[in-house]
Each structure stands twice: as structure tokens, then as C-alpha cells.
Amino acid sequence: MSAGFDWTALAEFALIGLFSGGLMALIALGFVLIYKGTGVINFAMGEFMMLGAYFFYTANVMWNLAVLPALLLTLAAVALVAALIERSILRPLSGQPVIAVLMATIGLGSALHGVVDAVWGGKNYEMPQLLPRKPFILGDILIPGQVVWSFVLAALIIAGFTLYFRYSRTGIAMRAAASDPVTAYVLGIDVRRTQRLTWMFAGIVGAVAGIVVGAMTSLSPALGGAALGVLAVIILGGLDSIAGAIVAGLIIGVIESLTAGYLGGKVRDIVPYVTVLAILMIRPYGLFGTRQIERL
Amino acid sequence: MSPLLEVAELGLSFGGIRALNRVSFTANKGEITAVIGPNGAGKTSLFNSISGFYKPSSGQVIFDGNDISKLPAHKRAGLGLARTFQNVALFRGMSVLDNIKLGGHGRLKSNALSAMWYIGAARAEEMGLRREIEREVIDFLEIDHIRNLSVAGLPYGLQKRVELARALAMQPKLLMLDEPVAGMNREETEDMARFILDIQEERGITVLLIEHDMGMVMDISSKVVVLNFGEVIARGTPDEVRAHPEVIRAYLGGNAAKAAA
């Protein structure tokens, strides 16, 4: 290279960022589902990830269940927890000011944190490796296998949900209930049921993300913290847009990876927020969101 | 004529305001019954109480022989109560066909998971529903040409017709229409009146409607109920109601009533 610039490194950082953005988009989907379906910003999303990872560790490692049964058991358990949370906390608060509901989900996050700390202790566990680690090699570029497979998994799940909401009867009913609950009721749609289902879906999405993140790093109560970074993604994408969550997830993934590569890991956590700040100054409703989003 | 809907001594209050006070009337099977009254008389509150959004403080709603006063709105819909709204309440992000199909979904049996796979019984059900809607709703209401369009861009009169189509897809026993021709021009109004008559005559569906267009109300209704300040002040055939002094007073003021008497 004439200028002495390492183009290969740039390509590698960008590609790794793009692929790790898939997982961010998946976590973002969890937020978007609940916001679209029930109008709530669920600050306990990270705790759903954490619960998923801990449940899976318990079933798979402590109880020695095979991966598939352990996974199914985990998803069912998290869905159940999400349904209970919807019933006992969110439904009584429906119709209350946004800020009250928001505080409730923040409190819920802390409570789940506390429960996990009490049951499993604050120490780090080694999660079993689920995704193949064999790296992908494109010429001089090397991309860790887990990063690519996590992207594939996220893409499949997001595509599945998109199809589900577009074509399945329940998915269409959920969209209808989300956009106009009163009319949905009149059509015989049980809006409480669709809202419960929304929370269960978000719980499942969070749990999958949590298991993958846990397997790529390690299992500790801090695992849920990853979701807070994703909150930036969601605001960037617009809270009510799945497409926005995907695109923004990928953008942030790339930006984080490039910053980590060139400026170091410490700056990495700041740059996405700065980017988001800059974008929000121009488009306060996000890249794809509808204009009348309630601002916090 | 036996009543399909019987509203008995219905009372509804918002804080200190009595929206409905001991409202009683019946809607006979296979007939068109109209609810009229000045603005703020409680007509829409009455509709909301019948369809289950408001919890009346007293009285009963009896539908097809069953007391449905305690049922939530979606269960009432399942029993055959369909309605449209004063302001068009379509799902704006969806196509005409998807909007109409949503009306039929409540009747189908398959659940979240089986419908997710879109196979077997769920698929057969979906196809059956699709055929039935094509034949009995889309052709019937002459909206064939717009079925795949997004509802958001449609002219107002057509949006109202799509909303009617969605209610029909529920295969209701009772169709409640809240101002079906409000804001329509003369031609659109005549079309809508013809559709409502067809629904009643060909399908035998009982219709309960709120309307301000007196010409249309008097033309198509078998019975008229007049509300004023939350109370029934008159009920009967269009001719009886038209001549009722209380009704003239409510609409035209006290002096006009004296002049008419």
C-alpha cells in the first residue's frame, strides 16, 4: 500500500463490526417489540438477557440437560417470567404516565438483578460454547466464527418475526392491537392476550441474545449491561421500527468496532452515544421512527 | 318481532355527569333501528356501553337472550356484535384486505402457534375465510378494485365502506353503525344507504345506527329512538317520532314546539 495505510485492518474491523451488529439488532428487536406492542420502554430488557443466560447455564451445566431441551426449557421459563411481569406490574400501570411505567421497568430491572445475585451469587461462570468458533477467512481478513454465527442466528430470528407479523393471523392481530387497541377489541381481538404475547416474545428474544452474549463473554450479573448500550441503537433507529433497529444495530456495531480498533477499547463505549447525540440533534424521532414519538 | 338486543334501564356516569339515565329500548331481529338526538345526547356513550367499552353503573344489556352486561368487549364481538366508529378506525399501515380479514379472525379456531406455522387446519381456515370474504364482503360492497391498496390513501367515503366491510366480515348478528354517512356527499350517502338496506334485507342482519342525516334515518329505519341529555324522550316509527312534540322541542327549541302544537 502506497500510503502505508492498512486497508486490510480497516476491512476487518468493519466486517467484524457489521457482524456483531446483528446481535445488537436482536436486542433492539426486544425493545422495539414491547414499545410497538404496548407503548412501554422496557428498561429491564438487559435483565431478560441475564435471566436467559442464567437459566440456560442452570439447565445445561448444573442439571446436565442436553442443549436443545435446556434451550427450550430456558425460553419457556423466561417467557413465563415475562408474562407474569406483564400481568403483575405492567397491566395495573396501564394508563399511568409514561414516566411511572418507565420507573417501574427500571425498578424491575434492579429487582431481577438482586434475585439473580441472591440465587447464583455475583461470581463469573464459564458458559458452554454453543456457536462454532472456527474463524472465517476471506483473503487476509479473519472473522471469529462466533461473531458470524451470532449474526446468522440474529438474522434468522429477526426475519422470522418480520414474517410472523406480516403474515400470521396472531401477528397481524398483534399489529392491529398495537396500532389501535380500542378498534382491535371491537373486532374480537383479546388485546390483553396480544400484550401478554408481546412481552413473552420480547423475553424470548432477550433470552436468546443473553445466551449468545454470555457464551461469547462470560456469565455474570453484569451481562444485562449490554442492553443499555443497545438503547442508543434503538433511539437511533426510532423506537417503533424493526427496520430501524436492524440498520441502526449494524451502524453502531461498525462504529464500535472501528473505534475499538483505532482509538482503543476505552473510547469505544463513548463514540456510539456521541453519534446518537449528533443524529438526534438532526432527527429527534430517530432515523426511521414516526415523528410523534414521546420523548423522554 | 322478537328483540335481538334489549337495553334495560341503562345508567352511565362520568364523575358527576350523567351520560345515560335509565335508557331502555329494544332492537328487533332483522330490522333497522336508528338512535338519533342532538350532539352530546349520549348516543355514542350508549354504543360504547353496548359494545363493552364503558361499564354502565346500572341496567342491563341483553343480547340474543343472554345478559352480556359483564362481558369484556372482545367476547361481545365473538357473540356477534360488530360496530363501526364515528371517526374511521381502520389500521392505517395495512391493506384493505388485511383490515377486512382482521374482522374474520375472531371467529377462527386456531391459536398463536398453529397459525404461526400457517399449515394444516390453520391454513385451510385461512383459505376458507379468504374465499368467504371475497364473495360475501368484497364483491357485495363493490370494493374489489381497491382490495390490495393501503387504506391510508383511500378517499373518505371508501374508507367508511372498508370499515363496514370489516364489520361484515365478523358475520355479526347485530351491526352497530356510528354515523355511517357523516361527512359524505350525496352520492356517497345514497350508496351507503343502499348497502345498509341490502345488508338488512338480503342478509337478515339486525342494524342499529346512529345518524344525523335525518333524510336517511327516516327513509331506511323501521324504528327510531330519540335521546336527549342521556334520556330516551321518544321512540317509535319514523312518522311517530317526527310528529312527537318532545322531539321537535329537542331539535328546534321550545318556541318551535309551541308553534307546531
Q: What is d(CA A207, CA A46) in angstroms, rounded to the nearest whole number?
A: 9
The partner residues of B227 in beta bridges, in order of sequence, read B232
Write the CA distances from B57 to B49, B61, B176, integer angstroms: 10, 12, 22
| Number of neighbouring beta carbons within 10 Å of residue B89 | 19
Range of the domain at A159: 20-226
Among A83-87, A257-261, B28-32, B158-162, the range scoring the smallest mean pLDDT is A257-261
Whether residue A279 is contained in a domain is answered as no
| Number of neighbouring beta carbons within 10 Å of residue A151 | 21
Is A183's CB within 8 Å of B85's CB?
Answer: yes
Q: What is d(CA B63, CA B8) in angstroms, rounded to the nearest whole number?
A: 11
In percent, the amount of chain B with pLDDT more than 90 equals 54
Are A194 and A173 a contacting pair, CB within 8 Å? Answer: yes
Q: Residue A2 has what pLDDT?
A: 53
Are B188 and B109 a contacting pair, CB within 8 Å? Answer: no
The partner residues of B10 in beta bridges, in order of sequence, read B23
Q: Is the pLDDT of residue B113 over 80?
A: no
**Short-list B57, B54, B67, CA closest to B7:** B67
Q: Which residues of B touch A75 (CB under 8 A)?
A: none
Instruction: Please tell me which of the candidates B74, B83, B101 has its beta carbon nearest to residue A190.
Output: B74
Most A-contacting residue of B81, B102, B119 (CB-CB within 10 A), to test interface: B102
Q: How far is B211 from chain A (nearest CA, A)?
A: 20
Q: Residue A295 has what pLDDT?
A: 46
The pLDDT of B8-16, averaged and rounded, is: 89
CATH topology of domain B1-80+172-261: Rossmann fold (3.40.50)
Are A144 and A135 a contacting pair, CB within 8 Å? Answer: yes
Whether residue A232 is contained in a domain is answered as no
Q: How far is A242 from chain B (nearest CA, A)?
A: 14
**Short-list B192, B159, B190, B186, CA closest to A183:** B159
Q: What residue ranges of chain B are covered by domains with CATH 3.40.50.300?
A: 1-80+172-261
Q: Which residues of B touch A166 (CB under 8 A)?
A: none
Q: Which residues of B touch A170 (CB under 8 A)?
A: 111-112, 115-116
Q: How far is A161 from chain B (nearest CA, A)?
A: 10
Q: Is the pLDDT of residue B184 over 60?
A: yes
Map grid coordinates 434492579 to a residue.
A110
Q: Is the pLDDT of residue B121 over 80?
A: no
Q: Residue B111 has what pLDDT?
A: 58
Instruction: Please tell me which of the candidates B52, B89, B126 has its beta carbon nearest to residue A183.
Output: B89
Q: Residue B104 has what pLDDT?
A: 83
Q: What is d(CA A180, CA A176) in angstroms, rounded to the nearest whole number?
A: 6
Q: Residue A268 has what pLDDT?
A: 75
Q: Residue A291 has what pLDDT?
A: 58
Q: Is the pLDDT of residue B85 over 80?
A: yes
Q: Which residues of A touch B85 (CB under 8 A)?
A: 183, 186
Would you call A95 an interface residue with chain B, using a CB distance cutoff of 8 Å? Answer: no
At A199, list the grid cell. 412481552
Whether residue A293 is contained in a domain is answered as no
Stated length of chain A: 296
Most B-contacting residue of A75, A168, A169, A180 (CB-CB within 10 A), to test interface: A169
Would you call B71 an interface residue with chain A, using a CB distance cutoff of 8 Å? Answer: no
Q: Which residues of A touch B93 (CB under 8 A)?
A: 175, 179
The pLDDT of B246-257, averaged and rounded, is: 73
pLDDT-based confidence at residue B126 (cuts at 50, 70, 90): confident
At A278, list the grid cell. 449528533
Would you call A163 an interface residue with chain B, using a CB distance cutoff of 8 Å? Answer: no
Predicted complex ipTM exceeds 0.85: no
Q: How far is B168 from chain A (nearest CA, A)?
A: 11
Question: How many structural domains does chain A have?
Answer: 1
Q: Residue B110 has what pLDDT?
A: 54
At A267, list the grid cell. 473510547
Is A188's CB within 8 Å of B170's CB?
Answer: yes
Kindly state the DSSP code that residue B153 receives in the 8-state scheme: G
Would you call B259 an interface residue with chain A, using a CB distance cutoff of 8 Å? Answer: no
Are A140 and A72 a contacting pair, CB within 8 Å? Answer: no
Would you call A173 an interface residue with chain B, using a CB distance cutoff of 8 Å? Answer: yes
The pTM assigned to this predicted structure is 0.83
Q: What is d(CA B26, CA B224) in angstroms, rounded to the nearest whole number?
A: 10
Residue type, B198: D
One digit per residue, pLDDT tens: chain A, 296 residues?
456 788 888 999 999 999 999 998 999 999 999 998 888 889 999 999 999 999 999 999 999 999 999 999 999 999 999 999 999 999 999 888 889 999 999 999 999 999 999 999 888 898 988 888 888 988 888 899 999 999 999 999 999 999 888 888 888 888 888 888 888 988 888 889 999 999 999 999 999 999 999 998 889 888 877 787 777 767 776 777 888 888 878 887 888 888 888 888 777 777 767 877 887 788 777 666 665 544 44
Q: Residue B120 has what pLDDT?
A: 65
Whether residue A11 is contained in a domain is answered as no
Whether residue A233 is contained in a domain is answered as no
Would you call A188 an interface residue with chain B, using a CB distance cutoff of 8 Å? Answer: yes
Write the CA distances from B171 to A186, B97, B199, integer angstroms: 13, 16, 11
Q: Is B171 left (phi over 0), alpha (psi -120 to 50) or beta?
A: left
Would you call B217 an interface residue with chain A, using a CB distance cutoff of 8 Å? Answer: no
Q: What is d(CA A161, CA A230) in angstroms, rounded to the nearest whole number?
A: 19
Nearest chain A Cα to B78, which residue? A188
Q: What is d(CA B49, CA B230) in angstroms, rounded to the nearest whole number?
A: 13
- Where b means 16+ CB within 10 Å and e means fewer, B112-129 reads bebbbeeeeebeebbeeb
The pLDDT of B206-213, averaged and rounded, is: 93
Whether residue A281 is contained in a domain is answered as no
Q: B210-215 long-range contacts, Cβ below 8 Å, gap at least 24?
A: B210/B34, B210/B35, B210/B36, B210/B43, B210/B44, B210/B47, B210/B86, B210/B177, B210/B178, B210/B179, B211/B34, B211/B36, B211/B177, B211/B179, B211/B180, B211/B181, B211/B182, B212/B36, B212/B179, B212/B182, B213/B181, B213/B182, B213/B189, B214/B36
Is B89's CB within 8 Å of A180's CB?
Answer: yes
Q: Residue A296 has what pLDDT?
A: 47
Would you call A191 an interface residue with chain B, using a CB distance cutoff of 8 Å? Answer: yes
Would you call B49 an interface residue with chain A, using a CB distance cutoff of 8 Å? Answer: no
**Short-list B177, B162, B5, CA closest to B94:** B162
Whether residue A286 is contained in a domain is answered as no
Q: What is d(CA A257, CA A249) in angstroms, rounded to the nearest whole number?
A: 12
